[in-house]
Structure 1
Amino acid sequence: MSPKEGMVDVFIEAFIKDFNNKTKAQNTERTNIIGEIDALNKRYQNALLKNADGEMADDDFQEVKKLTKGKIEVLERRLNDLAVVGTEIKDLVASTLKKVANIDRRYENGDIEEKRLIVSSMFPDFLEFDGTQHRTPRLNSAIALIYQNNSKLQGKKMGQVYRF
């Protein structure tokens, strides 16, 4: 059982595209928070310059400093709470899927524990064996996508129609 040529690469690209679509809102929020922090830092810098030039009273400067630093701390906590989106996700997915693509060789060369691990990861529900046959209610969805038949793929066909 080995995947068709190129299926792993197709799956990697599809996964990365879906991942980027799912994290687009998070990246937008991260950009907005960074923009707010920059604006508050500029406001603080302007207040500092005005205070140094004598255009702003010390009490007013302390109030601006307290407000801006407080808001910056809150925004930085929100920024830290957002999960870090790794730029190395493509490499991580590629290496993992290459391992999955070579699962047949790993199974053939592995010991009993590795074989058990491979079978249990491919068939997450109970594997039923009656002595002569085996079956399982479902196959792992990632494995099913990688090993699927090309005839089951949906997509827009870009061929030309010829009429004779």
Structure 2
Amino acid sequence: MNLSNHFLIAMPTLNDSFFSGCVVYLCEHSNKGAMGFVINKASPVSMDIVFSSTGKATPQRFIGKDVMLGGPLHPDRGFVLHSPVQTWQNTMPITEEIALTTSRDILEGLANQDNESDAVLTMGYSSWEAGQLEKEIAQNTWLVANADSEIIFRLPTQERYAAAFAKLGIRPENLMGVMGHA
């Protein structure tokens, strides 16, 4: 089972201080473990702040957008999921359309007003040891869906969780597991 280029969707019953309500885009998954990025949990840092650090104006397509909290590991490191795949100093292609870059030179490229690349910046990442993710999926901690670049790059942050569920044809509230009394 290779879940690279898939979404992990936190079950509504997941009671975890970081992952509750999250959608994780998995970049790598093998018998050695898994690595991905939360794509729907905004950090306090905006893209405007990131681009101001380059000395360039924020491109229109990034104005008002947030940098995501990609995961609890190394929250001091930045990562960029982007499309199309272009080669920067440190780029790892994930699919033919999506890549991960960790080098700062991508910010200069994205700041170019003529560059129409889609991008999500994250601080930190999420990781699972060998067998850990499979165990969590078997325990119904996560649902798995095919990734969708429209959800990753174009939907507002607050709509990504419901949109990932919709790919499975279900709504999160239908899985709450709470019964009411009439």
**Shorter chain as normaliser: what TM range?**
under 0.3
TM-score (norm 2): 0.24
More helix by share: 1
TM-score (norm 1): 0.26
